[in-house]
Structure 1
Amino acid sequence: MTPIKEDYLKIIFELGGAKREVSNKQIALALGIAAGSVTEMISKLKKERLVSHKPYDDISLTKKGLDQAILLIRKHRLWETFLASTLDFALADIHPEAEVLEHATSAELLAHLDKFLNYPTHCPHGGVIPDRDGNFQEESYTVLDDIPDGKTVTIERFIDDHDLLIYLRDINLKLETQIKVIKHEPFDGPIAVQEVASGKQLSISFKASHNIFVTDEQGNPFKVDKMAKKKE
């Protein structure tokens, strides 16, 4: 399988494609590419029975696609954890290194790496790490952009993207931070939010807001796929 196809399986998993359907637009925003390119690749993945997709419909992983995605995600995120916790790599720099390492990782090495790290359940940017049997904890698939104005949420995880992680570092937005959504600017503008603890206000770009996953104030996943973006 080519690295590009692997990237697609991983991003579909990150967006929730193991348990729900994700849209062409979500994948395009997460990968930073044109929607037409996504359509072309999804067609190829469907022919290989890695994804399920009907024209003008959303996309999900098949059993075959999910099995491959879980193994890729497990290798990638264990290496990310090792690089960040043991070698002190910056969060924004671990992704490309893990991309290289995951392709040279045997089952035995993976098992030893998992044990060495004391069986972590989440990677440094908040993504879940499947265990050796493919099991993983429930996580939120609700993105910040879907949260109505006036609601308070907790930052759970970020899409594993180098540019996004640099951007979030620059605005100093961290995991487990509680924020209140103040206002969605029109015409795909930024979202104004306020940190609950510090009172500091931030402006988060439209693209970034689609790659930041949030939970409710108690840290629980939202039980709906999409929240009405009503103004309160």
Structure 2
Amino acid sequence: MTPKKEDYLKIIFELGGKRKKISNKQVAFSLNVAAGSVTEMIKKLVEGDLVEHEPYAGISLTPKGAKVAEDLVRRHRLWESFLVDKLGYKLQDVHTDAEVLEHITSSELMDHLEDFLGHPKRCPHGGIIPTKDGEYEEDTHQVLASLQDGKQAVVDRFIDNHDLLEYLSDVKLNIGDQIKILEHTPFEGPVKIFVKNTNEEMDIGYKAAHYIFVK
């Protein structure tokens, strides 16, 4: 399997594609690729019985695709945890090297790495890390943008996208922050929130608000 196919399976999993239908648009944004590229790759994944695609409904992982994705996600997120926690990488800069390492690491080394890290349950951007047996708690798939004005929540995880993580580093929104939705501004304007941890108001861009998961 090519690294590109693996990237698609990982992001479909991260967006909730094991449980629900994911749109081509969501995949395109998360991977920073053109919509046409997504359409072409999804056809290949369907041919490999890795995903199912229903026109106008979306994409979801098959049981075969979910198993492959879980293993890939475990590898990638364990390396992210090591690079951030042990080598001091910035969160927004860790993806590329983790991507290289996950493809060249034996299963035995992954098991030793997991032991060394103390069997972490989540990676630095909040995503779950499946065990080698494929066990894990299901992620939340409720996004900040879906919360109504006045609702409160806790920031749970971010999509593993460099531009998004760079943006969130700049605005200083962090996993675990307690927030309250103040206002959805019109015409796809920012979502205004209040962060209880810092006692500050903050504007979150419309697109970014669709890739910040809360609970």
- Which AA in structure 2 matches 1:146? S
Measured in 2, the distance between the counterparts of 1:119 and 1:111 equals 9
Shift of 1:29: 2.8
1:13-63 CA distance string (max 9 Å, x none): 001111222222222232233333322221221111110112222211001
Give me the identity figure in percent.
Answer: 53
Matched, 1:171 2:171: yes
Q: Give 1:199 deviation, angstroms.
A: 2.4
Deviates more, 1:183-192 or 1:91-100: 183-192
Alignment map for 1:45-124 (pairs within 5 Å): 45-124=45-124
In the alignment, residue 213 of structure 1 is paired with which amino acid? Answer: F
Q: Is the 8 A contact 1:29 1:207 kept in 2?
A: no
What is aligned with 1:220? none
The letter for the 1-side match of 2:152 is T
Determine helix, strand or coil for the equivalent of 1:140. coil
Q: Distance in 2 between matches of 1:32 and 1:144?
A: 21
Whole-Å separation in 1 of the counterparts to 2:186 and 2:36? 25
* One-letter amino acid of the counterpart of residue 204, structure 1: I
In 2, Cα distance between equivalents of 1:21 and 1:74 = 22
TM-score, normalised by the number of residues in structure 1: 0.89
| Paired residue type of 1:159 | I
Q: Secondary structure at the match of 2:154?
A: strand
1:162 is matched by which residue type in structure 2?
Answer: H
Does residue 199 of the first structure (1) align with residue 199 of the second (2)? yes
Letter in 1 for 2:129: I
Q: Structure 2: how far apart are the matches of 1:6 and 1:188?
A: 32
Deviates more, 1:29-38 or 1:204-213: 29-38
Partner of 1:146: 146
Q: Which residue of 2 aligns with 1:30?
A: 30
1:53-103 per-residue CA deviation (whole Å, 9 max, x = no partner) reads 122222110011111101110000000001111111111111111001001
Q: Structure 1 unaligned runs (5+)? A: 216-232
Paired residue type of 2:5: K
Counterpart for residue 4 of structure 1: 4
Q: What SS does structure 1 have at the residue aligned with 2:160?
A: coil
May I ask how many residue pairs the two structures share in their alignment?
215
Secondary structure in structure 2 of the residue aligned to 1:202 = strand
Question: Which range moves more in the overlay, 109-118 or 184-193?
Answer: 184-193
Coordinate RMSD, CA, aligned: 1.2
TM-score, with normalisation over the residues of structure 2? 0.96
Instruction: Determine the C-alpha separation between the residues in 1 that align with 2:36 and 2:182.
Output: 33
Instruction: Please give the alpha-carbon distance, in whole angstroms, between the structure 1 residues aligned to 2:58 and 2:30.
Output: 15
In structure 2, distance between residues paired with 1:156 and 1:29:
20
The unaligned stretches of length 5 or more in structure 2 are: none
Which residue is equivalent to 2:158?
A: 158
Structure 2 Cα separation of the partners of residues 43 and 27 of structure 1 = 14
